[in-house]
A = this chain, B = another copy of it.
Amino acid sequence: MTAEVKAVTTPASPPLTERQEARRRRILHASAQLASRGGFDAVQMREVAEAAGVALGTLYRYFPSKVHLLVATMQDQLQHMHTTLRKRPPAGDEPAARVAETLMRAFRALQREPQLADAMVRALTFADRSVSPEVDTVSRLTTAIILDAMGLEHPPTAEQLSAVRVIEHTWHSALITWLSGRASIAQVKIDIEMVCRLIDLTSPGKSPEKS
């Protein structure tokens, strides 16, 4: 439990009342529910509103677009996953192995709800500038998960952060190719393990070579 992670939760601009918090929660739940059924397309704003017992206008007040909604849903799910993963840290000896294990574990979790994963990931990559802050939060959460898995003793170097970003890139993109049926899970595993080698490459005082 080294390298403390500073609260990656939402910035929480205006404090919400209890009823509002409950509405928000109902909406996110409805969103995840519908997404689990039929993926991105099945999350229809009117249906979400109805399932959450909320007027369409209200839904849009809470989440200004479908993409915002789904990205928030992803935040939510990632939050869960992060706490779950923390309970059982990966077992590998090397940081690279631990990260690969963690990611594959996350991957298998997503596999259990492929439609939900589809909806969230599609929203994430489809998001335009207006969703940047939210997407950024997701990105920070992912980074936190990976750094956690690395179990560093010191704060990460700039190089290591770059490696983590590359791992994230690979993770997202591999997820997409899997979701759209263009890559098998075995393939994803290979690629994840491949990219995790960058961790060894960037851990200080390890590689004997250097230009």
Contact = CB atoms under 8 A, between A and B. Distances in A.
- Copies per complex? 2
Contacts of A136: 182
Given A198-B195, A201-B201, A208-B209, A170 B166 contact: yes
Given A128-B180, A159-B194, 16 more contacts: A122-B128, A126-B126, A127-B180, A129-B181, A135-B180, A136-B182, A139-B182, A163-B194, A165-B194, A166-B166, A169-B169, A169-B174, A169-B177, A170-B173, A172-B173, A197-B198
A135 B172 CA distance: 16
Interface residues on A, range: 35 or more
A129 B209 contact: no
Contacts of A208: 208-209
Chain A binding site: helix, strand, loop or mixed by DSSP? helix
B132 A126 contact: no
A110 interface: no
A166 B180 contact: no
A191 interface: yes
Interface in A128-181: 128-129, 131-132, 135-136, 139, 159, 162-163, 165-166, 168-170, 172-174, 176-177, 180-181
Contacts of A191: 162, 165-166, 169
B122 A180 contact: no
Of all A-B residue pairs in the complex, the 9 with the closest CB atoms, nearest first, are: A169-B173, A125-B125, A169-B170, A162-B194, A173-B173, A166-B195, A126-B126, A129-B181, A172-B173
